Structure 1
């Protein structure tokens, strides 16, 4: 493939955003104190804030953004729908609903939460694929989004109902509704790494065949690929990626829509180029949104899910209104 001129600038942008995430926050820590802490100097309090609070938060933002960006690109290519996105189509809501059920049942370990989250995401993926098979839905981007929004609303309503049933679990469940990467530990990130590595191998294996499948099943078969196997691999990868991201940050909306849209606009319709650009662009969006969530209402913080919705909703409206969508 021809090198993309936007690839390295995207990584440079991610580096600048990541640095800003470590230097700025909702607390009273000054810029010079944060810089000193990064250099291994400064006060013990400054080093604690930067290295023990902000650094794990940055790492989780990197993983979450990468997972959602790649999952969105895969889902859009599989459904041949530029509006397909884990948050809009109910994949994230299915993941959050499964986690809420686990919390209501008394689950609390990070590993169990991750596995349950991925199982819920897998169920959501299955419903998305079924929706694309319904006559008229899979061919109409807006109708598919409406079907996904209905599913998301139903699952989130059931999640809210569970909050009323058990007040003890209400605070924990509320996390999955609002979305946040604050207060997360390295252990929670480590719990998701095995499945993220597994999904990485799957994405690597299906990327080239998926590019052929985007031209149609007949073309894919003519090139020696098996469409059913490709679809299964994509569904599993999307479930693993979305489930891991939801376990870490809650059901974040629009990340899987905005990131692939920008990646295609910069790199073209080839899914392989889109995926490469999603690697830096996804974390950039999450980390930038998280930094804004700390600064906009300092010394308090806004939920991360609110910021991603504020950033993504206008993009969705522009896509629907103008139809200026890079061809899938």
Structure 2
């Protein structure tokens, strides 16, 4: 019965996700009805100007919505499982900060201009940060303790964010180029650029799904996991690789969009309970839905456009506070 409920939930979330993505394709300066969107999607060779708008602007944007929602949502669920901290997200271990600093350094000192280079720098920065946090968190007594790893990530993230700010404040050209990206945006990219993050996100999702059983064992506690033959440090390291690919790829593509990694896993856990495999699948869909709706809201709020990262911050904080009070989310 429980499996049937969870499987039905996946079907419903798939429908809702497709609806949210269709809405993303239809909303803009010129609103399009669902049948119009589908017509232009299946006729990319059309000479109609609206077809060009759909394929050159809205399709890339919707692809980024999908990648960001899946990347940040699943990465957040993995972080909460690894740290056993219900408030963990891609920022808590400093991954976003590491990816952002690497891109800032590349722009300021190496003259990066191509998103392809952004991607590599962001992944290297995210991975390097993950390795440092893993090494520091496993040093000394009680090595691998979740609290130590969490505090290591928070401290390192603060240092890296400070370095990024220092570079930006002393380089106005880089600050101008980074302004939109740093706020988290899905606009102003071609379809080819948007698809650059796809292999990394898919790789991270595959590793995440393959790690779910091990993470369920780790959730029983360090001693219990060891008694069952698991190797907690190896489990955490594999999870950190997945987090790097997911959060690093998503950050490179859209900038650091906050809160998705907090909300999606919490909603998933409320719906289907503490099973990491289902949490991963549900987080993928829920993260995409939240990013898509936030992006659409950012387009219609003003005559200009509010970056999706700003919208998620304004919506996310009150919702998370309400969730914490209403459902007493004080433990995994």
Q: TM-score, normalised by structure 1?
A: 0.87
Question: What is the aligned partner in structure 2 of residue 318 from structure 1?
Answer: 322
Q: 2:17 aligns with which of 14, 19, 25?
A: 14
Question: What is the aligned partner in structure 1 of residue 191 from structure 2?
Answer: 186
Residues 24 and 135 (structure 1 numbering): CA distance in 2 closer, same or farther, change over 3 Å?
Answer: farther
- The number of aligned residues is 322
Q: 1:219 aligns with which of 215, 224, 227?
A: 224
RMSD across aligned C-alpha pairs, in angstroms? 2.9
1:71 is displaced (CA, Å) by 0.4
Indicate the SS of the match to 2:89: coil
Could you give the per-residue CA deviations for residues 248-272 of structure 1, whole angstroms, max 9, x where no partner exists? 1101111100000000000101111
Question: What is the aligned partner in structure 2 of residue 31 from structure 1?
Answer: 32
Instruction: Out of 37-46 and 64-73, give the one that drifted further.
Output: 37-46
Question: What is the aligned partner in structure 2 of residue 238 from structure 1?
Answer: 243
Residues 221 and 157 (structure 1 numbering): CA distance in 2 closer, same or farther, change over 3 Å?
Answer: closer
CA distance, structure 2, for counterparts of residue 318 and residue 123 of structure 1: 35
1:233 is displaced (CA, Å) by 0.3
Q: 1:77 aligns with which of 51, 76, 81?
A: 81
Show structure 2 runs of 5+ residues with no match.
none
Q: Is the 8 A contact 2:59 2:191 kept in 1?
A: no
CA distance, structure 1, for counterparts of residue 205 and residue 320 of structure 2: 27
Alignment of 1:287-302 (within 5 A): 287-297=292-302, 299-302=303-306
Q: Is the 8 A contact 1:88 1:253 kept in 2?
A: no
Question: What is the aligned partner in structure 2 of residue 90 from structure 1?
Answer: 94
Could you give the per-residue CA deviations for residues 125-168 of structure 1, whole angstroms, max 9, x where no partner exists? 345544698999x6779x958x7666545433322322233232
CA distance, structure 2, for counterparts of residue 134 and residue 14 of structure 1: 45
1:228 is displaced (CA, Å) by 1.8
Question: What is the aligned partner in structure 2 of residue 62 from structure 1?
Answer: 66
1:13 is displaced (CA, Å) by 1.2
CA distance, structure 1, for counterparts of residue 90 and residue 140 of structure 2: 19
Indicate the SS of the match to 1:6: helix
Q: Is the 8 A contact 1:92 1:121 kept in 2?
A: yes
Instruction: Out of 252-261 and 9-18, give the one that drifted further.
Output: 9-18
CA distance, structure 2, for counterparts of residue 44 and residue 159 of structure 1: 44
Indicate the SS of the match to 1:39: helix
Q: TM-score, normalised by structure 2?
A: 0.86
CA distance, structure 2, for counterparts of residue 115 and residue 313 of structure 1: 31
1:315 is displaced (CA, Å) by 3.1
Could you give the per-residue CA deviations for residues 174-219 of structure 1, whole angstroms, max 9, x where no partner exists? 2332110101222223322332233233223211111111112232
CA distance, structure 1, for counterparts of residue 139 and residue 15 of structure 2: 41
CA distance, structure 2, for counterparts of residue 323 and residue 123 of structure 1: 36
Q: 1:306 aligns with which of 301, 306, 310?
A: 310
1:314 is displaced (CA, Å) by 1.4
Residues 30 and 185 (structure 1 numbering): CA distance in 2 closer, same or farther, change over 3 Å?
Answer: closer
Instruction: Out of 263-272 and 11-20, give the one that drifted further.
Output: 11-20
CA distance, structure 1, for counterparts of residue 138 and residue 48 of structure 2: 55
Question: What is the aligned partner in structure 1 of residue 169 from structure 2?
Answer: 164
CA distance, structure 2, for counterparts of residue 13 and residue 134 of structure 1: 47
